[in-house]
Amino acid sequence: MRDLNYQLKQLCHRNRDGSYVTQSKRKHHLMQIANQLHELGFRGMQARSIKPKHVDALVKDWLRQELAHGTIKNRLAVLRWWAQKVEKRNVIAGSNDHYGIPARQFVTNDSKAKGVNAQDLEKINDPSVRMSLALQRAFGLRREEAIKFSPSYADRGDRITLKSSWTKGGRERDVPVRTDEQRALLNRVRLLVGTGSLIPSERNYVQQLRVYERQTSNAGLSKLHGLRHAYAQARYQELTGWQAPAAGGPLTKALSPGQRVMDRVARQTLTEELGHSRRQIVSAYLGS
């Protein structure tokens, strides 16, 4: 193993920031970057060898490959993490604009909503995975939140409380229980796991994640983040009385002043329920 790959692996082992998934993706990207630097002719590098010329060469190659801007930004975030950990954060520009990467576009009026029906759920053999998918659909949960879900902690009667260790960014949040269907689902989850969680006692999170991925793939289910989009659009209609722009409803600019107030309140409510820090991000689910 080359020195750079080894040292970056050690850097990951010593700095376990974020969830397991975040750590795993970061390590994967760092190994890709180390290999790419070797292929670009930067031989014999150490972790502390990173310089602006390395970042410039990487970004130039990524642009040449026509990688998606979101992918490049994710890799730049990993590079910033690396630079910070070796106390050389100034080797990377603070703004992606410096590298010619435009700001992320949150607003879209193309719906990415996805449904999972009873027939789809019947194709899932693992009962915990089946319940996790049902929770994603009913409450707009992220995959990790739905896999780690424990009703003995989360079910507070009129709401579910998601533990900070389940959520992206480590922010605890509440999602209201509004319908009989949601209540019935929570009762089924509790009946299945009792005081435990949707990770069976003989598995850890990583093992259950692999089961989830295998089961959903075998069932022909993909792009399941779209369940959050479907939740957001249905909840928006419930809060406002009209469909979201991404679901075929009126554009924000066409709303009356009174409707715009309702729109802002609904978007803020969904920002909190979906666990985002900025209302702007919700436009990716709802359109504008």
Q: Is the Cβ–Cβ distance between 159 and 183 less than 8 Å? A: no
Upper half-sphere CA count for residue 255 (Cβ side, 13 Å): 19
Burial (CB < 10 A; 0-12, 13-18, 19+), residue 105, is: exposed
Query: Can you tell me the distance from the alpha carbon of 132 to that of 196, in angstroms, rounded to the nearest whole number?
Result: 14
> What's the confidence (pLDDT) of residue 119?
92
> What's the confidence (pLDDT) of residue 104?
60
Residue matched to tokens 């803020």: 268
> What's the confidence (pLDDT) of residue 106?
56
Q: Return the bridge partners of 162, or none.
A: 173
List average pLDDT for each run of 10 residues in the chain, which is 288 residues long.
Answer: 91 89 90 94 94 94 84 92 94 88 64 88 95 97 96 97 90 95 97 97 93 94 92 97 94 94 96 89 90
- Delimit the domains of the chain by residue range: 3-99, 128-220, 228-286
**At 22, which helix (H) or strand (E)?**
helix 20-39
> What's the confidence (pLDDT) of residue 108?
60
> What's the confidence (pLDDT) of residue 71?
87
Q: Which of 263, 218, 258, 261 is nearest to 244 (CA)?
A: 263
> What's the confidence (pLDDT) of residue 112?
84
> What's the confidence (pLDDT) of residue 103?
61
The pTM assigned to this predicted structure is 0.69
Give the C-alpha distances (Å, rounded to integers) separating 112 from 54, 74, 251, 286.
Answer: 36, 21, 17, 9
The SS3 assignment for 194 reads: coil
